[in-house]
Amino acid sequence: MEKTVVNSWNEWDPLKHVIVGRADDCHIPPEEPALDAKVPEDSDMRGQWGRRPQETIDRANELLDNFAAQLQARGIRVDRPTPIDHSQPVTTPDFHTDSQFGCMPPRDVLLTVGSEMLEATMSYRCRWFEYLNYRPLMQQYFNEDPNFRHASAPKPRLTDADYRTDYLSEKIGIEKRLEWTADKFFVTTEEEPLFDAADVLRFGKDLVVQHGFTTNLKGIEWLRRHYRDHRVHAVNFPGDPYPIHIDATFTPLRPGLILNNPRRRLPDDQREIFENNGWEIVDAAQPAHNGPPPLCYSSVWLSMNVLVLDPKTVCVEKSEVYQAEQMDKLGMEVVEVELRDAYAFGGGLHCCTADVYREGTCEDYFP
Ligand code: ARG
């Protein structure tokens, strides 16, 4: 019997089926150009690599398992990746790296648009093979759903030509970084198309893509040529000194409403398509924490990395009380989820998931 397994056009329609990542065997990868550019200059992660401490892996898995169970209790089907051995080095004709990253967060790798799931090119060498963690699921969906399209973007070569050496200096300083970000001078060059799936937000017929460290203009152009029935918009956020992955910066909650990180404001000329169509862009609430947890890549703004379950219901991290309060004021029912001890593995509630099925069809929100 024909059945549709894969279908998702936006970030807010009722969620019915989702992938939740795992922390198994996650590694802090060795130095490489694009990754080094992203690790905050004052981070405790600088200069160390290897398998993450087992007790942190166990704790993160406990939280991810609980999150999966919470979703299942609401009738949502949850699938999990099959971890590969991330300690394996990667050698291609073009580069070598001594370990991989993990199978967190799936949002970075898999981009679901309608009935297609696309494996992103990725832009870190340690993440080149990360799609393998999800291949058993891709095969399963392929067998179950005759309309499912499994796609993979061209694997990038990731030679040194992909990275700006300016970013290799140990101490760049926040001021210089902000200047570079404002000038759209990022660590990745325009050698070849590069993108991570988590730089893309889906608004039905429109895809909004962050130009930054992990996604270059050629990557955005590749997406434009791939999604021929869509309009693809490049955005950038000058206030972010480490611009990777759009989902702690710009968070659509429902048709007509987006949270924007007040420190990373969308420039005026890029607001038009939203404002001309009656969408409101509001400042996200302040994070509840002064700093990220240990060995974490991300900033405190994972507070706004929420998972929308339907236009009236949203998962917010349990300790993020200001964010929860704001959701309540915006008329959303808040589902509290404990996840902070898993942040170090690559992100929050939106990051650690990847859409498989949301109800609804492809709509034009910006006619
Ligand atoms: N760059 C974001 C921040 O530190 C974190 C984004 C994480 N998102 C993800 N999909 N991994 O504020």
Count of C-beta atoms within a 10 Å radius of residue 52: 18
**pLDDT value of position 337:** 98
Tokens of 330: 């915006």
The best mutation among 297, 303, 320 to test binding of ligand 1, ranked by most ligand atoms within 8 Å of the C-beta, falls on: 297
User: pLDDT above 90 covers what percent of the chain?
Assistant: 93
The best mutation among 302, 306, 352, 353 to test binding of ligand 1, ranked by most ligand atoms within 8 Å of the C-beta, falls on: 302
pLDDT in tens, 279-310: 999 999 999 999 999 999 899 999 999 999 99
Point out the residues that are catalytic. 196, 245, 351
Residues whose CB falls within 8 Å of the CB of residue 55, separated by 6 or more in sequence, listed in order = none
Taking residues 109-127, report their average pLDDT.
98
**pLDDT value of position 1:** 57
- The dihedral sign for the CA sequence 341, 343, 348, 353: negative
* 267 preceded by a cis bond (ω within 30 of 0): no
pLDDT in tens, 90-106: 999 999 999 999 999 99
Alpha carbons 27 and 85: distance in angstroms, whole number = 10
**pLDDT value of position 36:** 82
Lowest mean pLDDT among 38-47, 85-94, 295-304: 38-47
Tokens of 12: 């807010």
Q: How confident is the model at residue 245 (pLDDT cuts 50, 70, 90)?
A: very high
The more confident residue out of 44 and 23 is 23
User: pLDDT above 70 covers what percent of the chain?
Assistant: 100
Ordered by start, the domain boundaries in the chain are 15-358
- The dihedral sign for the CA sequence 51, 53, 57, 58: positive
Q: How many CA atoms lie within 13 A of 89 on its CB side?
A: 8
Taking residues 179-207, report their average pLDDT.
98
Taking residues 241-263, report their average pLDDT.
98
Distance 304 CA to ligand 1 centre (A): 10
Taking residues 7-15, report their average pLDDT.
98
Residue nearest to atom 10 of ligand 1 (CA): 351
Distance 233 CA to ligand 1 centre (A): 20
Alpha carbons 227 and 206: distance in angstroms, whole number = 10
- What separation in angstroms does the CA of 311 have from each of 135, 188, 212, 360? 30, 35, 29, 12
**pLDDT value of position 42:** 79
Residue nearest to atom 5 of ligand 1 (CA): 298
The best mutation among 11, 237, 245, 301 to test binding of ligand 1, ranked by most ligand atoms within 8 Å of the C-beta, falls on: 245
Q: Which residue has the tokens 């949850």?
A: 78
How confident is the prediction for the chain on average, in pLDDT?
96
Residue nearest to atom 9 of ligand 1 (CA): 351
**pLDDT value of position 43:** 80
Q: How confident is the model at residue 170 (pLDDT cuts 50, 70, 90)?
A: confident
**pLDDT value of position 44:** 81
**pLDDT value of position 18:** 98
Give the CATH number of domain 15-358.
3.75.10.10
Tokens of 114: 């309608």
Distance 4 CA to ligand 1 centre (A): 31
Distance 351 CA to ligand 1 centre (A): 7
- How many Å separate Cα 132 from the centre of its chain? 17
pLDDT in tens, 342-356: 999 999 999 999 999
Q: What is the 3-state secondary structure (H, E, C) of the chain?
A: CCCCCCEECECCCCEEEEEECECCCCEECCCCHHHHHHCCCCCCCCCCCEECCHHHHHHHHHHHHHHHHHHHHCCCEEECCCCCCCCCCEECCCCEECCCCCECCHHHCEEEEECEEEECCCCCHHHCCHHHHHHHHHHHHHHHCCCCEEEECCCCCCCHHHECHHHHCCCCCHHHHHHHHHCCCCCECCCCCCCCHHHEEEEECEEEEECCCCCCHHHHHHHHHHCCCCEEEEECCCCCCCCCCHHHCEEEEECCEEEECCCCCCCHHHCHHHHCCCCEEEECCCCCCCCCCCCCCCCHHHHHCCEEEECCEEEEECCCHHHHHHHHHCCCEEEEECCHHHHHHCCCCCCCEEEEEECCCCCECCC
**pLDDT value of position 172:** 92
Which amino acids bring their CB within 6 angstroms of ligand 1? 105, 107-108, 198, 244-245, 247-248, 298-299, 301, 346-347, 351
Ligand 1 atom showing the smallest separation from residue 105 Cα:
11
Taking residues 238-246, report their average pLDDT.
96
